[in-house]
Amino acid sequence: MPSLPGTQPRPSGSPKAEVSAPRKRACRRARRAESRQAPVSNYCAAGDAGAVMTASRRARAEIDVRRARSSRVRARCDRPRAHRRRPKILRIRLKYSARTEKLTRMPRNGRRRLTLVVAASVWLFDAPANAADVGACLSPKINVIVPRDPDWDGATDKLTEHLRTLGNLDNCARVTVRPHGAGVVLEITTSDGRSATRQVRSVAALLRTTEALLEMPPPEPIRPAAKPSPLEVPPADPAPPRPRVTSMHFELGAGGSLRFGGGPLYAGGGVASFAGFMLDRWLLGMSARWDLTDGFVSQLTPGNFSMRSSAYGVSIGNRFELGETSADALFGPTIVLEHEHADDSDTEIHGDADDFRLALALRISGPRSSPIRAFATSDFEASPARIRSQKFIDRSLPQLPWWSGGLAVGVLWGPR
């Protein structure tokens, strides 16, 4: 059978689509509409060329519109029914996804409450079971039947009381005692399923046997790990050297002093002071002293004789730290200024002299933890020039000493 205009014939091997009756009628109407043509004979008879052309265009446009509509209807008609309906599995999934979407749209407080309610329900239903499991192993289960004999009176109470006094027992075991002849048969089943049967003839033997079968072995003590052999331990890495920090500070001290000198021997006293600049362990210092009065010990002097001296020096040294005590060793030059005066009834003699000496001093101070510390200094000085020859200010006055030594005690201030 020839196909209608605007349609394509169906292949002979293709399956026939399943189409409903209303759609069949719509398909037939569409195919009949394709075969229609617009009447243009009236316009041709009238002889109006322009009208004929206009009618022809309208007819073609109407035919194109009808063909497009019929092709869409035919496409729907040829589509199988299975492809036009949603599968059942898809509808079920869409239903559950809609419920999940409702749950996610629930307010946050509502979801929290729902979670708490579910957790509380699970705990309430599970708590009695857990309590029963815990309570089942508080003590061994005992089932005692003893012979009717005065020797076995109170055996049950004694056994129960004896087991309570023991600490390291198998609390999940079962103890069964039943009469047998003149004694009883003791049967014990442990928590791991092992069982033992003993025959006893007295209450004391029952207590001892029950204790021996129920007592658990003591826990093994935790043994310390064996120390590895020195040959197995690799040598530790040497600690990195600590960077040395250079410290700088200033010190100042003053105190009283006592001095002795020689050539001839004399003694005196006065005031001593010093100032020092510390750079790490090195010390650069300056010192000064004033002997307010000096007197010869073994030398005859003129009447109203007096002697005074003062000294100024610089020194360099090193500091040693001994616990809370610091020790300074110093060496340096010193300039000594001396004055002698004598006033007899006839004449008055006086004069000044200066001398260059080399001094060696040792100072000890402490405690180091305090910024104000006590100190004690011992020093000795000698004149190279006066060792070779004696020196006098005047021949009528005593010889000037060529050495002296002293001891000064006072207080110094300096950072810790």
If 0-12 CB within 10 Å is exposed, 13-18 middle and 19+ buried, where does residue 228 land?
A: exposed
**Residue 13, pLDDT above cutoff 60:** no
pLDDT tens digits, residue range 402-415? Answer: 999 999 999 999 88
In this predicted structure, the answer to whether residue 193 has a pLDDT above a threshold of 50 is yes
Binned at pLDDT 50, 70 and 90, residue 247 comes out as: confident
User: Is the predicted pLDDT of residue 260 greater than 50, yes or no?
Assistant: yes
Please give the average per-residue pLDDT across 183-212, as a whole number. Answer: 85
Question: Taking 90 as the threshold, does the pLDDT of residue 136 lie above it?
Answer: no
Q: How many CB atoms lie within 10 A of CB 177?
A: 22
Answer yes or no: are the C-beta atoms of 400 and 353 closer than 8 Å.
yes
Statement: residue 189 has pLDDT above 50: yes
Q: Which pLDDT does position 9 carry in this prediction?
A: 47
Distance from C-alpha of 200 to C-alpha of 186, rounded to nearest angstrom: 7
- For tokens 């004033």, the residue is 290
Q: What are phi and psi of 170, to 5 degrees?
A: -85, 95
- Helix, strand, coil in percent for the chain, rounding step 5: 30, 35, 35
Q: What is the pLDDT of residue 368?
A: 86
Q: How far is CA 344 from the centre of its chain?
A: 89
Of the candidate ranges 84-88, 334-338, 367-371, the one whose mean pLDDT is the lowest: 84-88
Helices and strands (H and E) in the chain: how many: 8, 12
Token reading at 224 = 């310390």
pLDDT for 82 = 46
pLDDT class for 331, splitting at 50, 70, 90?
very high
The band of 305, judged by pLDDT with boundaries at 50, 70 and 90, is confident
Mean pLDDT of 271-293: 91
Give residue 182's pLDDT band: very low, low, confident or very high (50, 70, 90).
Answer: confident
Read off the pLDDT band of 266 (50, 70, 90). Answer: confident
**What's residue 123's pLDDT?**
59
Overall average pLDDT of the 91-120 stretch: 59
pLDDT tens digits along 41-88: 444 444 444 554 565 667 777 777 777 766 665 555 555 554 445 454
Mean of the pLDDT values across residues 154-175? 82
For the chain, the C-alpha Rg in angstroms (whole number) is 64
* 40 — pLDDT class (breaks 50, 70, 90): very low
194 pLDDT above the threshold of 60:
yes
139 vs 353, which has greater pLDDT?
353
Q: Kindly tell me if the per-residue pLDDT of 131 is higher than 70.
A: no
Amino acid at 264: P
Judge contact between 149 and 168, C-beta under 8 A. no
Of the CA atoms within 13 Å of residue 389, those in its CB half-sphere come to 3
Which is more confident, 4 or 307?
307
pLDDT at 273 (0 to 100): 94
Q: What is the pLDDT of residues 351-366, one digit of tens each?
A: 899 999 999 999 999 8
Task: Judge residue 238's burial from the number of C-beta atoms within 10 Å of its C-beta, 0-12 exposed, 13-18 middle, 19 or more buried.
Answer: exposed
Mean per-residue pLDDT, 244-249: 76
Residue 254 binned pLDDT confidence (cut-offs 50, 70, 90): very high
Residue type, 258: L
What pLDDT sits at residue 259? 92
DSSP line for 232-275: TSPPPPPPPPPPPPP-EEEEEEEEEEEEEEETTTEEEEEEEEEE
* pLDDT for 237: 76
Per-residue pLDDT at 75: 59
pLDDT at 197: 87
Give the residue among 136, 129, 124 at the shortest CA–CA distance from 171.
136
The reply to whether the predicted model has a pTM over 0.75 is no
Contact 266, 294 (CB under 8 A): yes
DSSP string, 63-110: HHHHHHHHHHHHHHHHS-GGGTS--HHHHHHHHHHHHHHHHHTS-HHH
